[in-house]
Amino acid sequence: MSGCSDSAASGLSVKERAAIEAAVKETASNHLNSRDATTALGYYEPDATVASNGCLYPSFAAFAAEIEEFYAELREIHRADWDDVRVDVLSTDSAVFTARFRWSSTDAKGLRTDLEGVWTAVFVRGDERWRIRARHESFAPSLD
């Protein structure tokens, strides 16, 4: 098999590709640094497909409920970084973002959580905004 075709994006100039890559990276960074559920969920399409550690959420509403609960307890973000970022431009209005992440926070009970993992998202552009259409994250195993 030859893999995925790059035909839809092949007509883009180097400058157009770079602009799309930069916009998707900025959107992903803003999402990772969200401080509340409304902001974080605002980066998704209303019916986005979401999976975590190989488990598919039954609906976007189920994912949103979990995110709202998480952010309700969030008190401080210590670290929110992407590493090894790759953006594959599919077309003028779609791209795939893949990266490793490191994220550390403290919740309302004072419990600090340090996370690492990998994250992949399909971004689509509509109304001049980039949003996540589908995403999967996998966390590194805890060493505790």
Low-confidence ranges of the chain (pLDDT < 50): 1-3, 5
Domains of the chain: 14-139 (3.10.450.50)
3-state DSSP assignment of residue 143: coil
**Structure tokens given for 122:** 């399909």
Provide the pLDDT for residue 8: 61
3-state DSSP assignment of residue 43: coil
Could you give the C-alpha distances from 27 to 53, 122, 124, 130, in angstroms and in order?
22, 12, 11, 7
Provide the pLDDT for residue 2: 41
Provide the pLDDT for residue 143: 56
Provide the pLDDT for residue 128: 84
Provide the pLDDT for residue 1: 40
Residue range 92-110, pLDDT digits in tens = 999 999 999 999 999 999 9
Does the pTM surpass 0.95? The reply is no
